[in-house]
Amino acid sequence: MPTIADVAKLAKVSSATVSRVINEPKLVRPDKLKRVQAAIRKLKYKPLPPGLRRGPKTSLSFPLQHRTVALVWTGSAGASSTATGQDMHRSAAQALQRHQISLLSSFIGDGAELPAAINAGRVDGLLLVGPEPEAEAAEVLRKLPSVWLLYKGSRTWGDRVQPDHRGIGRMSLDYLLEAGSKHPVCMTNASRPDRSDYYAERADAFRQFAEMHGIEPVLLGGDTPPAEDEAGGARQAKEMVAQALSRRPRADGVFVATGLGHYVHGELLRRGVTPMKDIPMVAGDVESIDRHLDPMPVTVDIHADELGRLAVNLLLLRLLHPGAQRVRQLVGADLVIP
């Protein structure tokens, strides 16, 4: 009899995604939904009746004063319009709706003032995405129960839900080795002072696990600051691809730890090297990769919808237990192999 794990393997998603398709399909991106539903039909998988499934069966009641949570983007307003931002926003709103809690979304990046509702104390808690704001704004925000999403944010206050970036570095190396790579390289950037940059964690895990396999770790771009614009990103990709192909022995596998995967893909093609045919490639987060790339490289699914849902759960737990120790929850990622 097929299991959820069998469906997940066939659909190339996590077991958690299969569970969401069964229980809360509105939380799942359309492309994943179609893959999982097709796998369920092919395997003739029969989910358990609702009453026998794991997980909450009814909404909980929280003694909140305002029944409002604010989702605050503390950096560039553009972050909210990315696929990752939209998935987190949607899943957080739906998770809060189950408890009849409203979600207010706002921005304080680029010198914007705090939302009036926060200044007036009319929200019960915060979901925060982006870097820690300047001291005056941080002093107000840190008084409220807070959960940071993704990887930036404060190191000293608030709980956190983030992708397991070290796991991503390890999985990417394992994939390249299984694909036959003997001289894989990782393309990254220099970590900025006083910042926790996600790509630095991925690259460091790649380095560590390469050494454990007896492979010389090769990190390209590790002394270069992140690009400030698209032209800079394209230039960095060009330089790193040139280094990878000129090495002796030549690189025969590529992991892009940053958001430059589509530039690296294009530069390889321009140099007559076809990704996934001539060289296996993990190009970075699926949300940052053009879905029309040909050939399509391996991408990383950080489960942005799961991040939003779990951040809400953690915030509600914090509201119930305000004195508990700070929590950091890691969310496992998956490689999407075309």
Tens digits of per-residue pLDDT, 238-251? 999 999 999 999 99
113-141 pLDDT, tens digit each: 888 999 999 999 999 999 898 888 999 99
Rounded to an integer, what distance in angstroms lies between the CA atom of residue 254 and that of residue 177?
A: 11
On whether the CB atoms of residues 256 and 264 are closer than 8 A, the answer is: yes
Q: What is the pLDDT of residue 207?
A: 97
Q: What is the pLDDT of residue 52?
A: 45
Q: What is the pLDDT of residue 189?
A: 95
Burial 161-177 (b: 16+ CB within 10 A, else e): bbbbbbbbbbbbbebbb
pLDDT above 60: residue 51: no
For 69, phi then psi, to 5°, come to -120, 140
Domains of the chain, first to last? 4-52 (1.10.260.40), 68-163+304-331 (3.40.50.2300), 165-301 (3.40.50.2300)
Q: Name residue 328's amino acid.
A: R
Over residues 65-72, mean pLDDT: 94
Over residues 69-86, mean pLDDT: 87
Q: What is the pLDDT of residue 110?
A: 67
pLDDT above 70: residue 57: no
Q: What is the pLDDT of residue 160?
A: 95
Over residues 73-100, mean pLDDT: 88
Rounded to an integer, what distance in angstroms lies between the CA atom of residue 48 and that of residue 292?
A: 37
pLDDT above 80: residue 218: yes
Is pTM beyond 0.85 here?
no
Indicate the pLDDT class of residue 6, thresholds 50, 70 and 90: confident
How do 334-336 and 298-301 pair as beta strands?
antiparallel
